[in-house]
Amino acid sequence: MRSGSGASVTTLGRALGDAVHVLRTVSRRTERRVRRTAIARPLSPGGFLGASMTTWISTSPSLLPRTWWMWTTNFGLSQIYGYATGVVAEKVVRRVMDTLGLEVDIAEDRQERARWVGAGALLSISAYSWVRGVLRQREISHLVQAEPKNLSTHVVGTVGGVSASLGALAVVRGVIATAHLYRALLRPYLPRRAVGAVSLVLTVATVTVLAERLLRGQVLEQMLERAEAANRLISPDVPRPSSPLRSGSPDSLETWQSLGAPGRKIVSSGPTPETIAAATGERAIEPIRVYAGKSTSRTLEQTVEAVLAELDRTGAWDRDVLVLFTGTGTGWLQEWSLSAIEFLTGGNCATASLQYSVYSSALSFLADRRTPRRAGHLLFDAVRRRLDAMPDGSRPRLFVAGESLGSFGGQAAFRDLQEMLTSVDGAVWTGTPSFAPLWRELAARSRDGAPAIAPILEHGRHVRVVTRPRDLERNYFGGLYEPWQHPRVVYAQHPSDPVAWWRPSLMWEEPAWLRQRVGHDVTPAIRWFPWITFWQLAADMPLSISVTGGHGHAYHEEMVPIWASVLGQDGPDPHTRRNRHGAIVKAIRASDPRA
């Protein structure tokens, strides 16, 4: 027994010694591997050159003036792309040279001079491109009637961009070091062919877990929580309407709390009959505003039924004009568009919409682009069926409208432009994303020679693209349209609106509107570059709604003449028409501080 026990202890001691020896060997190998893939190792020459070139390109202009974080985004993402491309190009060149037996040597006494010449050239080109980029930003500011940014904005953005790209490089090198670490640990225990595959799986799993915890667990969940909290927020500055002609009022079937923050703002805003009469000089009645908020306790179909119930309760079917709006991701609607309709019709109208999401348009588009289309389709179909069941002489005229993601969703109610023209009395789509199917159809059927930002369909007989109010009567180049017939459809698209022109294919394909480089508020210096232009326009989008009205994604006072034309109120006297529209614009600004 004792002899057996002693042998077991000896065997266990040898095993532990072997294990310690293996661990020491693996540790030394791991240390060497990690040292070779250390985060602080010198930059790749090809990667550095690629990053420098894309940095020069990223200073090129886009559509809107850049804030510091827009500079940071452009610089950071461009440098990451340039460095990765440069590293790959360097490896390809080295492989080709090795295959061909080529070798380039610089004499030892000239190496130092070559380094200084190269560094000087890079610094000179970088300084020139940066200064030129800053000057272009001032030009863009003037084009969109914005105050130019001060020099510190550009400096801070540049420093932030370089820091972001270096941080991204450190993360990538950390991932590579992790892969080498797994390979070093696995090599003593697995066949050579299996080491690479298993280490790759473990590295991907590690990165996925860390990214999931950081992005989904921290960033995404916080974004969702903030969006839901903002939707529940009841602001004391937004009073509950007392009129029975508003959803959320004491007489409404929809509670004040259920409307959501955007819905509460919509039904609490708008002109009174007295305000309308004072601006137009004509008798007015109170407009109807109907809205139903998103609820976890009912489906989208039930929300549509709630809108119909509110239309029934308020007597909206007896009004002359009924307008269905499809909102943006949060359910927001453009007050300029709502108020323009109410002033122009003397209040003899009803507007209706619903909330299909509480998240921003960008988040809604990325997470679920099907729901906006379903919302627009279901609401329109339900209302159209109700109207078709009414006698011909007693139906209100039906119009549809939407902005941004709301335009994308609202147009989903129609298979094509022809179906739209046969189903409604008019439509106004503002800031329509260029990937919307009906916009693509319009662009494909456009007359030869028409600019991509303002396609011309059938000489403007029913559909007109408006980049500024004067395009209602003449095309973008000043040519005459054919007489405008009803129903009338307007696509309002500012040339400087990044929401209208951004699309995923910008990463690899130059769009026609960039090849043409036309637009009264767009610099002709704008150019397309793979990857870079995609992110430049993406960075332009968040602040595009806050620029001066008439530019970017800010569709303001031009909504008055646009809706007047679609409603058929473009009388023969231009002077009288301009005075009336000016009075309405002034009244909207006075009645709604947000406008």
235 domain-assigned: no
426 domain-assigned: yes
Mean pLDDT of 423-434: 96
Q: Is the pLDDT of residue 2 over 70?
A: no
374 domain-assigned: yes
Residue 383, domain extent: 241-431+555-591
79 domain-assigned: no
Mean pLDDT of 349-373: 88
419 domain-assigned: yes
Q: Is the peptide bond before 469 cis (omega within 30 degrees of 0)?
A: no
- Alpha-carbon distances of 79 from 163, 167, 199, 400, 578, rounded to whole Å: 10, 11, 28, 44, 50
Which CATH number covers residue 355? 3.40.50
SS3 463: strand
CB proximity list for 210: less than 8 A, separation 6 or greater: none
Mean pLDDT of 188-217: 78
Q: What secondary structure letter does DSSP report for 474? A: B
What's residue 361's pLDDT?
Answer: 82
- To the question of pTM greater than 0.85 for the whole model, the response is yes
Q: Is the pLDDT of residue 370 over 50?
A: yes
Q: Which residue has the higher pLDDT, 316 or 194?
A: 316
- Secondary element (H or E) of residue 400: strand 397-403
Q: Where are the alpha helices (DSSP H) in 541-573?
A: 559-567
Q: Is the pLDDT of residue 583 over 70?
A: yes
Q: Structural domain tally of the chain?
A: 1
Alpha-carbon torsion, ordered 512, 507, 429, 339, to 10 deg: -120
Q: Is the pLDDT of residue 134 over 70?
A: yes
What's residue 101's pLDDT?
Answer: 82
Q: What confidence tens digit (pLDDT) does each residue in 85-98 have?
A: 999 998 999 889 88
What's residue 40's pLDDT?
Answer: 62
Q: Which residue has the higher pLDDT, 188 or 394?
A: 394
85: its two tokens: 């491309």
512: its two tokens: 């026609």
102 domain-assigned: no
What's residue 595's pLDDT?
Answer: 56
Closest CA to 291 of 167, 205, 375: 375
Mean pLDDT of 494-498: 96
Mean pLDDT of 296-302: 92
Q: Is the pLDDT of residue 235 over 90?
A: no
Tell me the pLDDT of the chain averaged across its residues.
88
182 domain-assigned: no
What's residue 24's pLDDT?
Answer: 53
pLDDT-derived band at 15 (thresholds 50, 70, 90) equals: very low
CB proximity list for 107: less than 8 A, separation 6 or greater: none
Mean pLDDT of 362-373: 83
Tell me how far apart the alpha carbons of residues 1 and 19 are, in angstroms, rounded to a whole number.
Answer: 27
What's residue 43's pLDDT?
Answer: 79
What's residue 100's pLDDT?
Answer: 84
Closest CA to 395 of 350, 343, 462, 353: 350
Q: Which residue has the higher pLDDT, 102 or 341?
A: 341
How big is the chain by its Cα radius of gyration, in Å? 31
Q: What confidence tens digit (pLDDT) does each residue in 435-454 have?
A: 999 999 999 999 988 999 99
556-560 contacts at long range (C-beta below 8 A, 24 or more positions apart):
556/336, 556/595, 557/336, 557/585, 557/588, 558/466, 558/468, 558/469, 558/492, 559/334, 559/336, 559/337, 559/340, 559/428, 559/430, 559/492, 560/336, 560/340, 560/343, 560/344, 560/584, 560/585, 560/588
211: its two tokens: 């990214």
Percent of the chain scoring above 90 in pLDDT: 65
What's residue 364's pLDDT?
Answer: 79
546 domain-assigned: no
